[in-house]
A and B are shown apart, each in its own frame.
Chain A
Amino acid sequence: MATLSNYKCPSCGAPLQFSAEGGNLHCNSCGNDYSVESIEALLHAEEHTSESFDWGNYKASLETQTMEDTVTYVCKACGAEVVTTPTTVATHCPYCDNEIVIDDRLDGGLRPNGIIPFAVDKARLKEIVADFYKDKKLLPKNYFSDAKLEEILGVYVPFWLFDCTMDGTMTFDANSVRVWVAGDYEFTETKTWRLIRSGDLSFRKVPVDASIKMDDALMDSLEPFDYKAMVPFQGAYLAGFLADRFDADPDLCLPRATSRMNRSVEEVLGSYQTGGVSGVRLRNNAMALRDTAVHYVLLPVYLINCKYGGKSYQYAVNGQTGKIVGTLPISRSRSLLYRFRDLLIAGIPAAGIIALLSYIF
């Protein structure tokens, strides 16, 4: 049986929730606030101590683990059986609404190195979403009345943060063109260059989401997160939010981080001391990774699912910075209307100017 943590109010026993506004745990029943550290100290006073995630140690034990489709837990508050997915770390009890954190998915090798707590509360979230819709001219007219906000989920999404140094040599091809006139002749000199660049470039905390079910592009678009606000992981931060454990291991995610770093290395080296050449293009990449390290962290994200016209649309809000990204439905009739308007706005003056020019010249 799994180990569960109940973040209950020490005064009245009601469930505690993490408050994004105050950065502490709040009791909705008696109104008391408690610091995360004090609640964690109370909770773990008689329990085991946790160790931070270590991929090297964890990797060896992975082979012996199995993932089943569903896992059952017993709620400590009401005794009901709660069914979750194998990667769920924090959830609610559907019977008593008690906040549940499944400790054994955060212990030992699975305990995150850090967490960025939510800083955007629900009130601010509503403003952000309203602003997001504001300048979207192609939104269907009845979108606000017809769209059904199915759910707004505050989720701690598991991320890998990769540290590494890229070391080696890149070679580039490039051209330079010089034109000069001597007498009645114009001369053009075209030089082909080989640019050789060696060096080492260190990257710190390149994020890659560690959840297979999360849309990679959606998570990428939420960047950047401010890592200065990252704190050591405490289970209490999860109270009131959902959280998932990683199901994409670092070996699976590393190629995405490497690809991004390679591209940036190419841009940095390809533009270094080029001396006026143009058309710089990569010829050979002999960069190697060294000093690699990976950190397992949870980052705050609001996921908003919306249904319109039989289709699902998902947006995401960076729970720290409030940046919102996503895909909105497009009204075909509005799109046509705007295209026609643009055609008239640009076409009529252009026709007038052309007619005037044809008259003048």
Chain B
Amino acid sequence: MLYRTAGQFKTSYKADQALFPVKQDAILLGVILVFAWVVFPLAASEFTFQTLLIPILIYALAAMGLNILTGYAGQLSLGTAAFMGVGAYACYKMVTLMPWMNPIVAILLSGVFSAGVGVAFGIPSLRIKGFYLAIATLAAQFFLVWLFEKWAWLYNYNASGAIQVPNLEMFGVYVAGPQADSLVQYYVVLAIVSVMTMLCINLTRGTLGRTWKATRDVDIAAELIGINLMKSKLTAFMVSSYIVGVAGALFVFMWRGAAEPNLFDIPLSFRILFIAIIGGLGSILGNYLGAILIVGLPVVLGTLPAALGVPIASSMVEHINVMMVGALIIFFLIIEPHGLAQLWRLIREKLIIWPFPH
């Protein structure tokens, strides 16, 4: 009876287009937001911030960016990590060239650079489709990582070839760098990711969202009903790469603290693709569910055996983790190809009619 929607009538299209037409959804979201903004920050340890909360949010954001491109607009990309790299390096250059710059502004601006690069590498999508395009995005992946390594200006000619996040201050508080507090960083990440999620929800449910989905489902029909495919695909690349770039800047500035070029190599691209797919392509919620699973699994695997009194070497944990993720991907694809979000949708449908069978 908890999820009963009967009796909640809509009297205007405006009400029907509200973000949460069903009251219970709004309540559930409210509870989650209270946990995210109040309960977790009060209760979480340094370990929880660094291994779960912050990375889950950042990975969810990166997956959301990819999901716009692949899940909504139907353009499979295997180069996500490289675009995260563009965001991270752009942010690094901005804060080192212009140290007076507000760090959050720098992070949000760094997405502009990755959006530009994303559009450039999106141009082939106008001629190339499907797997051919996926391979083409690998060109971006390999070329950009090579560039991060060879273009010394990007990392300010450091001998190490890596970028180190300097201490960055905002209103007298360190928000990035070695002296920044995890709690502060968590709030910065949470705020940015929340706002971006909101914008993504709006974009995907409106005109642009329908344009993308039409392009994804039947591109020829989409063009014949008046959709400019070039515009549709390139805006998808632009929006997607922007979000991915911001996620990349957060990844380095709010979490890792430093980065080498190979951090943005293909395994990271795949990890984000898994999150998007296991979470559910064409879903915003799914990115969070997928990120919780992919980020949470190694933590559980790493702490559970010790808690049970069966110590396993950390390298073994890593190997088991890789294997488990592989098995889980196959498992989820078999039981629900549309991902965790779809699973939740089905559960919710059941809850709406519960306790009656129909």
Partners in one complex: no
Q: Which residues of A contact B (CB under 8 A)?
A: none
Q: Which residues of B contact A (CB under 8 A)?
A: none
